[in-house]
Structure 1
Amino acid sequence: MESSNAIIAFSALAQSTRLETFRLLVKSEPQGVPAGELARMLDVPQNTMSAHLATLSRAGLVKSERRSRSIIYRADLEGFEQLTLFMIRDCCGGDAALCAPLMSRLIPRCSDEC
């Protein structure tokens, strides 16, 4: 990922409704959420939600697909992975020992239910 693309993605997430929308879509993977439902869940007018979704889409963080008469939005996890890797690629100057605490927190831990 180039710096210019990362800046666009971070700018998209730097607004509270867009950040909450993205977080909600991540939690809704893999089924996604219709645009109208997103607007209702976040108590945002539909036209405002459409503008937010367009911004997230241009940033490579959200993708959409038409299902019948609805447009279903999903988090673009590949785009999010690229953004995350952009941030940690040069972690601690490439010193694995310095990066270890960060990396251990990024690895999900199973609870007793796993």
Structure 2
Amino acid sequence: MDEKAAVAVFECLSSGVRLGVFRLLVKAEPVGIVAGDIATALDIAPSSLSFHLRTMTQAGLLRVEQEGRFLRYRANLGLMSEVVGFLTENCCSGVAGGCRDADILSGRIPGCGSSNPARESKA
């Protein structure tokens, strides 16, 4: 991932609504959520949500599938993994095993079935 692509992702997620949508969809992986249920869960007007979903889909943050009359949205976790990799590629000067929190940087995304010891130790 290059810097321009990373900036586009961060610009898209700089909206509180879009960040909320993405976090909701991460929780719903791998099933995803239809647009109407996203609007209900986040108390967003459907017309406003439609604008945000379109923006996020164009940025590559969401995957969408037609299901009859409905559109089902899923978070693009592969893209977010690339963003995390971009942010951490030079961690600890590139020395393998040099990071104190290397388990967080291993490519696993918290909340997807893997434990996060760093987060648990802060509780």
Which TM-score bucket, shorter chain as reference? 0.7 to 0.9
Q: Which runs of 5+ in 2 are unaligned?
A: 109-113, 117-123
Residue 95 of structure 1 deviates from its aligned partner by: 2.6
Q: Give the structure with the larger helix fraction.
A: 1
Aligned-residue sequence identity (percent) comes to 37
**C-alpha distance in structure 2 between counterparts of 1:24 and 1:79, whole Å:** 16
Normalising to structure 2: TM-score of the pair? Answer: 0.80
Residue 27 of structure 1 deviates from its aligned partner by: 0.5
Is it true that 1:40 corresponds to 2:40 in the alignment? Answer: yes
SS in 2 for 1:102: coil
Partner of 1:84: 84
Moved segments of 4+, more than 3 Å? 105-108
**C-alpha distance in structure 2 between counterparts of 1:36 and 1:98, whole Å:** 45
- The residue correspondences of 1:88-107 to structure 2 (distance < 5 A) are 88-99=88-99, 101-106=100-105
For 1:73-103, what per-residue CA distance to the aligned partner results, in whole angstroms no more than 9, with x for missing partners?
000111111111111111132133442x222
Partner of 1:18: 18
Computed over aligned residues only, the root mean square deviation of the Cα atoms, in angstroms, reads 1.7
**C-alpha distance in structure 2 between counterparts of 1:105 and 1:4, whole Å:** 24
**C-alpha distance in structure 2 between counterparts of 1:104 and 1:64, whole Å:** 31
Partner of 1:109: 115
Partner of 1:51: 51
**C-alpha distance in structure 2 between counterparts of 1:56 and 1:93, whole Å:** 33
SS in 1 for 2:102: helix
Q: Which runs of 5+ in 1 are unaligned?
A: none
SS in 1 for 2:103: helix
Partner of 1:67: 67
